[in-house]
Amino acid sequence: MPSGDKLNARLIGIELYCDDLQQGKQFYGDVLRLDLLDEEEGHHARFGAGESFVCLERKGSESYPSRDKAVVFLEVPNLADAVRSIGEEKIVATKPLGEDRRPPWAALHDAEGYNIVLVEAPQCPSTATPAN
């Protein structure tokens, strides 16, 4: 992706920082009746919201804190291309594809200091028909 090209990103979720994770889980699960997708006790709880997600994270549990209580997640076709396009010097944290099979991501701060997390889109298997 040449520098300056659009990222072709789509919003996949938001993360809200919570002082009281249990209270947040009760609100999003019991009041809004969102499905709990996964959680790490004392760290985060992620709920489904259509094709997107709402993640509640205990405030102060990450090593690259956002300015306030919000994180925007954008899915990009190719993380390495997106990082090159934005500028590697702007990236504050990354995680490669790991054994947990979660997609790789990179985080940067916007002009106000909020975290923007770029997540690489899952790669679809080739649908090409082999030649006979």
Note whether 17 and 67 are within 8 A (CB): no
Of residues 81 and 62, which shows the higher confidence score? 81
- Nearest CA to 90 among 110, 75, 76? 110
Note whether 36 and 47 are within 8 A (CB): yes
- Nearest CA to 52 among 23, 14, 109, 103? 14
Question: What's 10-120's CATH class?
Answer: alpha beta
Question: Has residue 124 got a pLDDT over 70?
Answer: no
Region 59-83 average pLDDT: 83
Query: How many Å apart are CA 77 and CA 59, to the nearest integer?
Result: 30
Query: How many Å apart are CA 56 and CA 96, to the nearest integer?
Result: 22
**Rounded to two decimals, what is the model's pTM?**
0.64
Question: Has residue 112 got a pLDDT over 70?
Answer: no
- Quote the pLDDT of residue 27: 80
**What is the chain's mean pLDDT, rounded?**
83
Query: How many Å apart are CA 27 and CA 49, to the nearest integer?
Result: 14
Instruction: Read off the pLDDT of residues 11-41 as tens digits, 9 standing for 90 and up.
Output: 899 888 888 889 889 888 987 788 999 999 9
What 3-state class would DSSP assign to 28?
helix
Question: Has residue 130 got a pLDDT over 50?
Answer: no
Distances (CA, A) of 123 to 79, 116, 126, 127: 12, 21, 9, 12
